[in-house]
Amino acid sequence: QLQLVESGGGMVHPGGSLRLSCTASGFRLADYNIGWFRQAPGKEREGVSCISNSDDTHYDESVAGRVIISRDYARNTVNLRMDNLQPEDTGVYYCAAEKELDYGLELCADFDFQSWGRGTQVTVSS
């Protein structure tokens, strides 16, 4: 089982920024497609952004223009930079890894990923 750990969550005011990190131990994240997903209270988990093992990226339309997903190869980490955060961005953010995406990067679907971290809480509130 791959081990993933998310960090960087917290509480910010609307308009604020956060950088979430997904760190792996025991394997190279560069070999995997990585997805960031979030789950708000009472809602289903949804895709935020995905990056392929060849560094193609996909963003959900709800975050496009406000979020950047990137790899830090030296730290074996995938980062999610989020700007202009709004209350509707509140939720638990999870990263996930998968070597082969059966449904493709553009779908960025949670059911396509097998290995998951435990999540980090993001709260956007005034």
pLDDT of residue 92: 98
Q: At 95, which helix (H) or strand (E)?
A: strand 91-98
Query: CA-based Rg of the chain, rounded to a whole angstrom?
Result: 13
Residue 125 pLDDT grade (very low, low, confident, very high; cuts 50, 70, 90):
very high
pLDDT of residue 2: 85
Is residue 1 predicted with pLDDT exceeding 80? Answer: no
d(CA 54, CA 51): 8
Region 57-77 average pLDDT: 96
